[in-house]
A and B are shown apart, each in its own frame.
Chain A
Amino acid sequence: MLGLLKMLKIEFSKMRRRPFILIATLAAVILPAPISLLAARTGQGYDFLYKSVINLGQLMLLIPVLCIVAAMLFFEERDNNTLKSLKIVPVSMNMLASSKLIVLLVVSVLYSILAFVSTVVFSLIGHMTVEQFAIKLLFCIAAGIMVWVASLPCIALIVVFNRNYIFSVLCSFLYAVMGFIITNATIRTAAPNVFMILPVNVINRWLLPFFQNLDTASYPFDIGPSSVSTIFCVIYLLIYTVAFGWIICNRFRKWDN
């Protein structure tokens, strides 16, 4: 445990002067701006802004952001020729990979918190009332953790193929967009179904009851058959975490300088 904490600290210290991480967090902050403008124009309240930021900002945008940050974290060892130096310290490759994944989790949660704070700030500017602050923040953080799990299959693809950044960026955007479109197109299909192989689909279904209770337009269909329970969602995401976490660590260990 102490070793992992030390590795985490080292991973964060390596992130100095990497502007991309900053830009990613800026994306979290800036995105609510045009949406709050939309909300004001259409007479919608804070809940519309909040729901849109989760749907667009987290369930779609956060995935490619996390995947690109993952590519940077994993590829930096390969590109800077540091793998052999790390191996002879010795640093366990499993520990190194795990620490990078945890860094991504921290980035995801931070992004989610920033996105939420940004919605509150913009809602105040737009004279919108924020209710149930604590529970909404909790759901935002929970969504951030879930989106981290949802990114793991794409990150595994990036680590397994170990190609260049173009491939990684392409993979991550395609994965995010297809997940978004497929989920929206199939959300009415009762659970379980084949499209639930996509984690984003399951996360959306778990969020359905919560979103239904928000002060926004109701879903034009019965969400009962489409939604999934919290237990199902947690078990599903745990399985994905273990399976893809193992693939990532196992594959990273085999990377040769």
Chain B
Amino acid sequence: MSDFVIETRGLTKVYGEQTAVNSVNLHVRAGRIYGLLGRNGAGKTTIMKMILGLAPITSGEVDVFGQNIKGREKQIYPRIGAIIENPGFYPNLTGTENLKIFAEMRGIYHHNAVKSALEVVGLPYRDKKLFSKYSLGMKQRLGIANAILHDPELLILDEPTNGLDPIGIAEVRNFIKDLSVERGKTILISSHILSEISLLADDIGIIDHGVLLEESSMEELEKKNRKYILLQVSDASKASLLLEHEFHVKDYAMQDEHTLRLYDTALDVAAINKFLVMQDVAVIGSQLCHDTLEDYFKEITGGVGIA
């Protein structure tokens, strides 16, 4: 029996001439939150659709709970709750009526199930407001409520904080964390917002242009991210030559004409400051820094302008 709740092998999706997902090997472990991080159009939603069997696979395999979904929908789907893209509901019905319909379809007749699900996401029970009048945030919350209605073991959430205000985002984040930590659920969540993934995920997969560039746990990723001494000086070129000559600094990078990054964190910062000032190079600031996930993401994707 596999340790992985979701496992993909060589998962590929081709639309005509375009490869949307290219040989992705994803591994989602039980009881953990897996953050699928990528820019808009990277292939996150397509991967999720293929995992759920909502989009045909061009090549490769997907196992959910150690099995192929195809042919076993009745056994596997009740164990999964999902939001894919914008959640769809009937605009002429209220939120409660919409959930009751889905509850009935899932064979859940306990009226508390709908009430509890709505309470968790902060929506009123038996409210008169029609879905057509819901704000974007309310629609998203209702989608989450629908996904957890039947208490599934696995949650697949495609950008669940989309459209939520900062407080709503924090609430959803805490709620997702609770589901994983306290209720032991496995969660696959996608986002293009790095800060969200870094706060939430136990494991992370970075996807860009349909290719899974990196897959590791957050702990390992943090270890990989480099520390450095950030030096802000009046003349970075002069400072770098001086440091090379005097302190034999080889591992450094010039960020701009006033900023240097020294990757050897064992260097004596005080001595460096004093030396540079004596050589008529003004030191505006010096501090110990750490690469963020954003820096790491930019580095491995070579991208600019991420959210």
In the complex, A14 has a CB within 8 A of chain B: yes
Q: Considering the chains assembled together, what is the distance between the CA atoms of A218 and B53 in angstroms?
A: 62
Residues of B within 8 A of A14 (CB): 90, 92-93, 101
Cβ–Cβ contact A80 & B105, under 8 A: no
Among A120-138, those with CB < 8 Å from B are none
A window 213-236: CB within 8 A of B:
none
Asked if A41 is at the interface (CB within 8 A of a chain B CB), the reply is no
**Cα-based distance from A10 to B98 in the complex (angstroms):** 10
0/1 per residue, B43-73, Cβ < 8 Å to A? 0000001001110000000000000000001
B104 beta carbon closer than 8 Å to chain A: yes
Residues 30-85 of A at the B interface (beta carbon under 8 Å): 76, 80-85
CB of B272 within 8 A of chain A?
no
| Known contacts A13-B101, A17-B130, A91-B105, A81 near B54 by CB under 8 Å | no
Contacts of A76 in B (CB 8 A): 90
> Which of chain B's residues has its CB closest to A88's CB?
B77
B102 nearest CB across to chain A (Å)? 7
CA distance A90 to B85 in the complex (A): 18
Known: A83-B88, A85-B87. A16 touches B93 (CB 8 A): yes
Which of chain A's residues have a CB closer than 8 A to the CB of B91? 80
Contact of B73 among A9, A85, A90 (CB under 8 A): A90
* A16 with B97: CB separation less than 8 A: yes
User: What is the distance, in angstroms, from A115's C-beta to the closest C-beta of chain B?
Assistant: 26
- Among residues of B, the one whose C-beta sits closest to the C-beta of A78 is B88
Pairwise interchain contact A84-B88, C-beta atoms closer than 8 A: yes
What residues on B are CB-neighbors of A88 within 8 Å? Answer: 52-54, 77, 80, 82
The answer on a CB contact under 8 Å between B102 and A85 is yes
Q: Which residues of B contact A (CB under 8 A)?
A: 49, 52-54, 73-74, 77, 80, 82, 84-93, 97, 100-102, 104-106, 130, 146
CB-CB nearest 9 A-B residue pairs: A81-B88, A82-B88, A90-B73, A17-B92, A90-B77, A89-B105, A80-B88, A88-B77, A84-B54
